[in-house]
Structure 1
């Protein structure tokens, strides 16, 4: 009885429909996290040992300072061309990530089983899920790349021997880790879309032919011939 119950639970949860919805949920979560990471001014943090009351925060769009007296004050970058190259590239890649991630979610929705859109067109639904998986992977790469670029430049600048030890240095902020998490979620979501497509192909395979009496007789005849 316990084995039958376990098999029933596996059949309920490991279905193509559930896998599709899990992939959509994970991709949407990665998209939301990537969107939040893009506009958070917490990509890099800096705290001066000379003035521990002030904390500086830097993002792709704003620079903020936190003091106990005033609170948080943010200022947008005045010139785009004056920005470092890593921030310019990161801006573009993060916007591409948001666009491709949103397209992945929109494209995947009509390809889900149980959705009336494109009903009866299994080939079209399958193609939409594959396209959604590809877009999720593109979104994952364009999220992980800018976060890794900013992390690399931060490490290089932190260990730069030409900078005096007294000068404060930028360190990793919370947005860096949320960006890595968003990229990982988008990559997993795209992979789950492909797994769902493979499961759908497996479910739609033609059933094997049953052992009819004629086939059994032919098998026995072949066995007798081999013995002779």
Structure 2
């Protein structure tokens, strides 16, 4: 295919990685990780995130309040904060590293070894960033499911459910992992293009047999 080149693969990987990074950044600060609606008071809706909790009422609107104490938070929420920050840090580092190593950028011109190493590093950082995004979202999702189906809680007690930020977190994490994989594919394509051309196969010349005509003579 004409469009499936090493340069196009690198640009696609960078585009997917940037998209996943932006989605993870938005997910980290959205207060929509978990939602709760009380059946006793349907006017109020509660939203919980990593950094603050919000309540929505028809009279006042949305009111958010940050968590007062970090140490008083549950362990899964504290781990999710650390992992999301690690994801944003590694993803933010993967983007400029990949940009410097792309074909068409003169920073690594004439140094294919350095370009290849930076692309591999960017792919690894994208993978780490994606996994660091998927982990906290999955941890919070698991805890939400366990609490929702806890038979010890009375039925009248409202329970947390999945918020929109969890789905965007899964999408952002997968995008980062796919972007890192595309960087690896771009490196493999570059290695394939850099191989010396193989000499054309030569076939040995055919031996042509010439028919020898003998003239039979008799000596009288």
* Aligned counterpart for 1:154 among listed residues 126, 130, 144: 144
1:126 aligns with 2:111: no
Deviation at 1:47, TM superposition (A): 0.1
* Aligned counterpart for 1:86 among listed residues 65, 73, 76: 76
Aligned to 1:174: 164
Deviation at 1:220, TM superposition (A): 4.7
Q: CA RMSD in A?
A: 1.3
Aligned to 1:6: none
Aligned residues: 208
Distance of 1:179 and 1:133 partners within structure 2:
19
Deviation at 1:106, TM superposition (A): 1.2
Q: 1:54-203 residue pairs with structure 2 within 5 A?
A: 54-203=44-193
Distance of 2:70 and 2:153 partners within structure 1:
25
For structure 1, which runs of at least 5 residues remain unmatched after alignment? 1-9
* Aligned counterpart for 2:43 among listed residues 45, 49, 53: 53
- Greater fraction helix: 1
Rg: which structure is higher? 2
Distance of 1:207 and 1:27 partners within structure 2:
33
3-state SS of 1:117 partner: helix
For structure 2, which runs of at least 5 residues remain unmatched after alignment? 210-220
Normalised TM-score (structure 2)? 0.92
Q: Deviations over 1:118-147 (max 9, x none)?
A: 111011001000000011110111000000
Aligned to 2:31: 41
Moved over 2 A (4+): none
